[in-house]
Structure 1
Amino acid sequence: MKRLILSMAAMIIVAAMQAKTLVACYSYTNNVERIVTALRSQTAVDVIKIEPAEKGLDYAANNYALGTQLLNAIRSNPNDASSYPATDPVKVNMNEYDMIVIATPLWWSQMAAPFQTFLFHYGPQMAGKNIGVIVSSASSGISGVVADAKRLIPGGNFVEPNLWIRSSQTSDAASMISSWLEDIHYNDLTTGISSMTTENGFGITASHGFLSASGEFGTLSLYNLSGNKVVDATECPVSTSALVPGIYIAEASNGNRSVKLKISIGGR
């Protein structure tokens, strides 16, 4: 075991915080809005609503002719920002959130075009975060929407199962959401860990790309928010530069005692 005594004057970038959830949603027929309202009644979340910049458009007219046109433009050149329809600006600091729930309608087996615009701009900022997917549709399966989400959030940690609420089931959204939150172990994903304690004689520090522990520890471990161990070390410091930016759980232990701390890695 290695004992490290760390100066309290050192520049520390540890963030001991309560986990927060953001719900980002777009609602065309108000079904998604009802679903999000039901979600907010069961757990504390922040919500941002995506709105098209051009108002009053009927995406469903003529058998979704306009909606199909927008989807085809994205499909033909998905890496070009000009392929995506303009939406109203939103202000959101993704660094504040551990989990993002995206709630969107399905258009012709794909994610609604305005919501794709939002994810095109903000999806890369969701790397390392837990991503929950809620989709509203009349009948079609949601695999295409999930594929769009994974394309637009390439570094996201997608939790399963996804939640598919058909239009005819919207009135049952509350009970379906309750079951879904249990299925994805939402409380485990979002339970905050208190700030560093000294009761067990340990301390944990993340600073300048390295993870260290103080006290007579045996192992220093780091877990992502899915519970997967990504670091298992017996000596410090440990470089974290190769890890995906995000929120992690650090644990210092000697077999009989341990301390845990939620930390932020990657300049958050």
Structure 2
Amino acid sequence: MKTLIVYYSRTQQTEKIAKAIQKDLNCDIEEITAEKKYDGIIGYIKGGFDAGANRVCEINKVTKNPENYDLVIIGTPVWAATMATPIYSYLKEYGNQIKNLASFCTCGSSGYEKTLNKIAKTTGKTPIATMYLTKDEMENPEEKINNFENKINNR
């Protein structure tokens, strides 16, 4: 199964998980970057405001077409109880090209359920696997990552 991981990471926490999954599944990966920067405390506030308002932003050109993959895994941090604005923008543009979906998110402690549901709703796909990692779980994510990958591999 040809797999692509698409992720956005403001603080490299989501990136850490995306790269661990990529290594285990030996698949392609695409980092989404935004024209608008969400750095620092001001970026954190702007990001939460944009996400909560369902805004889209300009994302930099992607290099991998999701239509060419059997499975696309979406990874995002939770911003204001939803996905990060750059991932929402990606899904608004490319979500209809995703054949099969899996998704994961990283968060402080809450908002993950709404985030994972919104990813599914935005793409119109029922995910074959989902995973969330809270700040505390990020210290030892291996078990949750293994369970997530097993769901993907055993579908």
Q: Same fold (TM over 0.5)?
A: yes
Q: Does 1:188 align with 2:151?
A: no
CA distance in 2 between partners of 1:95 and 1:107 (Å): 27
**Residues in 1 aligned to 2:140 and 2:57: alpha-carbon distance in whole angstroms:** 32
1:46 matched residue in structure 2: 28
| Counterparts of 1:59 and 1:116, CA distance in 2 | 20
Q: Give distance in 2, aligned partners of 1:60 and 1:145.
A: 22
1:125 aligns with 2:97: yes
Percent identical pairs in the alignment equals: 25
Alpha-carbon distance between aligned partners in 2 of 1:36 and 1:72, rounded to the nearest angstrom: 24
For 1:137, the equivalent position in structure 2 comes to: 107
- Tell me the secondary structure at the aligned position of residue 42 of structure 1: helix
Instruction: Pick the aligned partner of 1:67 from 44, 47, 58.
Output: 47
Label 1:145 to 1:60 Cα distance change in 2 as closer, same or farther (>3 A).
farther
Alignment of 1:85-164 (within 5 A): 85-126=57-98, 129-154=99-124, 156-160=125-129, 162-164=130-132
Q: Distance in 2 between matches of 1:119 and 1:110?
A: 13
Structure-2 change in CA distance of 1:70 and 1:20 (3 Å): same
Tell me how far 1:175 sits from its aligned partner: 2.9
Give the counterpart letter for 2:147 in structure 1: S
What amino acid does structure 2 have at the position aligned with 1:116? Y
- The one-letter amino acid of 2:132's match is W
Structure 1 Cα separation of the partners of residues 135 and 111 of structure 2: 12
Distance in structure 1 (CA, Å) of the matches to 2:139 and 2:14: 11
Written as runs of structure 1 = structure 2, the 5 A alignment for 1:198-209 is none
Asked if the contact 2:33/2:60 (under 8 Å) is kept, the reply is yes
Q: CA deviation at 1:59?
A: 6.3
What is the deviation of 1:181? 1.8
Q: 1:54/1:178 Cα in 2 relative to 1: closer, same or farther (>3 Å)?
A: same
Say which structure is richer in helix.
2
Offset from partner CA, 1:44-66 (integer Å, 9 cap, x none): 111000011133x336439x431
Q: Any conservation in 2 of the 1:71–1:113 contact (CA below 8 Å)?
A: yes
* Counterpart in the other structure of 1:58: 39
Residue 172 of structure 1, CA deviation: 1.6
For 1:61, give the aligned amino acid.
I
Q: Which amino acid aligns with 1:125?
A: Q
TM-score under structure 1 length normalisation: 0.53
What runs of 5+ residues in structure 2 fail to find an aligned partner? none
Contact 2:7 2:74 in 1 (8 A): yes
TM-score, structure 2 as length reference? 0.89
Q: CA deviation at 1:23?
A: 0.4
Structure 1 residues 60 and 148, CA gap change in structure 2 (3 angstroms): farther
Provide structure 1 residue ranges, at least 5 long, that are not aligned to the other structure: 1-18, 75-82, 190-268
| CA distance in 1: counterparts of 2:113 and 2:82, whole angstroms | 8
Q: Can you list the C-alpha shifts for 1:202-252, whole angstroms capped at 9, x where unaligned? A: xxxxxxxxxxxxxxxxxxxxxxxxxxxxxxxxxxxxxxxxxxxxxxxxxxx
How many residue pairs align between the two structures?
Answer: 155
Residue number in structure 2 paired with 1:171: 139
